[in-house]
Amino acid sequence: MSSPTGALILSFNFYNLVRGKFLGQLYALLGLILVITTSNITQAQPVSVRVVRDSGVWRMERDGKPYVIRGAGGQVELPLMVQCGANSLRTWGIERAQQILDSAHRMGLTVMLGLWMGHERHGFDYDDPVAVREQYLHFASVIDRFKNHPALLCWGIGNEVDLFYSNIKVWDAIQELAAYVHAHDPHHPTSTVTAGLDSMEVHWINTKAPDIDILGVNTYGDLEQALTRIRSYGWDKAYMITEWGPNGHWEVAKTPWGAPLEPSSEAKFRSYQRRFGLIQDRIVDGCLGSYAFLWGQKQETTESWYGLLDAQGRPTRAVDALTAGWTGKPVTRMAPVLEHLLTSTPEHPDSPWLVTAGDWVEVRLPQALPAVELTWKVLPEATNTKAGGDFEQSLGALRVPMRTRAEGRCLFKAPSEEGAYRMVALAVNRDGQIAYANRPFYVLPPRPSRRWAWRWNFFARP
């Protein structure tokens, strides 16, 4: 899934444009200038990063000083990331690696640079020696290219290669690259990232990939268990939490029709707040820090489940929790508070919500939200959901008649087609911070007309 980027692509493209034509020669010259310019930082002196054991506790040192990772996964809105107190970002692959490293360096951020190893579930065959060798040579060249970049913090060799896999030869391939790093890049440690924490994966990494210096764990609802069990599972080196956030869509209650109940932005604020504290408590146990997920926005079951920002780059309430944790200071300008959505009937906010096609339905907020812009929309429930963060197509809002009312109320006409949907409320304050809540509902078939109601009732009798 990775591909060469930056100067290599530019130089290749400009070379192909040079065919004795003046315009081609001009483009080639401009491309060469750009290559030289963008390669300056890459050729700079690296900043040495070490993982050391001090008085029995693993810790990270950067440029000889203690370094605790206060990071997020994602490569957008970097000035906001810095403003909120982060010191590092994580990538999963090398797309735009040159640009990301250069931008991070200018802003004082470090980068955990991901090398996206092929996944068995995506069709990569670790029994194919040619494919394995080509992958190794490709990433060896990437390591050689970026190893001296001053923004580089560590190498992330593979992400969740253990998800739905059976071929343990993948750990041999990871070991081969980790050994290459140790032989050719003495300034940066190696890591690999697992999907959750499993004692068997710890065993395979210990035995088959001993050149891995740091174990990265992606974990959500099981974060606390992962933090407390990692030593008993046999990992005796440094570790970090490389993805964390609210409970995953696979870890929450569902409606009778199978729609997962997404926590509101306020519920997620509490999750990030509490879980950041749990991670910090494990620094004394060799935890090097963490990367919260996701600094950006993506469609994954819903449009808002994991995004710390929305599609316009506006920060959610969860960013307040991270900012307080990263800076150690209380946040003075906070995002709006939105707990959940209610229907017109008195019921628990997680109760199944059934409406009839074509009926007018009311939904409301449980509390007033002063000084915000409040918008509502109806989305179809996602059906083509994937695993492991694989790409999902964004869903557009449906065109349904809607009337907004005072005090956080909305009257809308239920879609005409039977099926699963979500009502979404979005609040934006004057500072461009957002809060949201959504609630799944199911549209039942329309009622029969009065003309045929007696026949419907007759045939509907048991």
Quick one: tokens of 218?
A: 């992606």
CB 157 within 8 A of CB 178: yes
Tens digits of residue pLDDT in 223-272: 999 999 999 999 999 999 999 999 999 999 999 999 999 999 999 999 99
Q: What pLDDT, in 10s, does the model give residues 362-402?
A: 999 998 898 899 999 999 998 877 677 777 777 788 999 99
Strand 190-195 versus strand 152-159 pairing type: parallel
**How far apart are alpha carbons 418 and 94 in whole angstroms?**
43
| Tokens 């002063």 -> residue | 370
Of the candidates 177, 135, 178, the one whose C-alpha atom is nearest the C-alpha of residue 3 is: 135
Distance separating alpha carbons of residues 110 and 105, to the nearest angstrom = 7
Q: How confident is the model at residue 36 (pLDDT cuts 50, 70, 90)?
A: very low
Q: Strand locations in 324-418, DSSP E? A: 342-343, 354-356, 360-364, 372-380, 402-405, 409-413
Per-residue pLDDT tens for 258-299?
999 999 999 999 999 999 999 999 999 999 999 999 999 999
Number of residues written out for the chain:
462
107-134 per-position pLDDT tens digit: 999 999 999 999 999 999 999 999 999 9
User: Hey, is 156 helix, strand or coil?
Assistant: strand
- Is the pTM higher than 0.75? yes
pLDDT tens digits for range 151-173: 999 999 999 999 999 999 999 99
Average pLDDT over residues 21-33: 38
Instruction: Provide the pLDDT for residue 29.
Output: 41
Q: Tell me: pLDDT of 15 over 70.
A: no
Other beta carbons less than 10 A from residue 166's beta carbon: 9
Question: Residue 42 has what pLDDT?
Answer: 52
Question: What is the rounded CA–CA span in Å between residue 379 and residue 5?
Answer: 36
Give residue 143's pLDDT: 98
276 exposure class (CB count in 10 Å sphere: 0-12, 13-18, 19+): buried
What SS3 class is residue 223? helix
Determine the average pLDDT of the residues in 23-51: 56
Q: Note the pLDDT tens digit of each residue in 305-357.
A: 999 999 999 999 999 999 999 999 999 999 999 999 998 776 777 789 999 99
Burial (CB count <10 Å: 0-12, 13-18, 19+), residue 455: exposed
Three-class SS string for the chain?
A: CCCCCCHHHHHHHHHHHCCCCHHHHHHHHHHHHHHHHHHHHHCCCCCCEEEEEECCEEEEEECCEECCEEEEECCCCHHHHHHCCCCEEECCCCCCHHHHHHHHHHCCCEEEEEECCCCHHHCCCCCCHHHHHHHHHHHHHHHHHHCCCCCEEEEEEEECCCCCCCCCHHHHHHHHHHHHHHHHCCCCCEEEEEECCCHHHHHHHHHHCCCCCEEEEECCCCHHHHHHHCCCCCCCCEEEEEECCCCCCCCCCECCCCCECCCCHHHHHHHHHHHHHHHHHCHHHCEEEEEECCCCCCCECECCCCCCECCCCCEEHHHHHHHHHHHCCCCCCCCCCCCCCEECCCCCCCCCCEEECCCEEEEECCCCCCCEEEEEEEEECCCCCCCCCCCCCCCCCCCCCEEEECCCEEEEECCCCCEEEEEEEEEEECCCCEEEEEEEEEEECCCCCHHHHHHHHHHHCC
Q: Which of 420, 418, 365, 360 is nearest to 395 (CA)?
A: 420
Average pLDDT value for the chain: 88
Helix extents (H) in 234-264 = none
How is residue 24 written in tokens?
């081609």
pLDDT at residue 24, rounded to an integer = 38
Name the amino acid, one letter, at 9. I
pLDDT recorded at residue 346: 66
Closest residue by Cα to residue 241 from 286, 201, 304 = 286
- How far apart are alpha carbons 55 and 284 in whole angstroms? 11
- pLDDT for residue 17 is more than 80: no
pLDDT in tens, 81-112: 999 999 999 999 999 999 999 999 999 999 99
Q: How far is CA 12 from CA 26, 124, 140, 272, 441, in A?
A: 15, 27, 20, 44, 52
Q: Which amino acid is at 143?
A: I
Mean of pLDDT values over 24-33: 38
Contact (CB, 8 A) for 28 and 18:
yes
Which residues lie closer than 8 Å to 453 by C-beta, 6 or more apart? Answer: 447
- pLDDT more than 70, % of the chain: 87
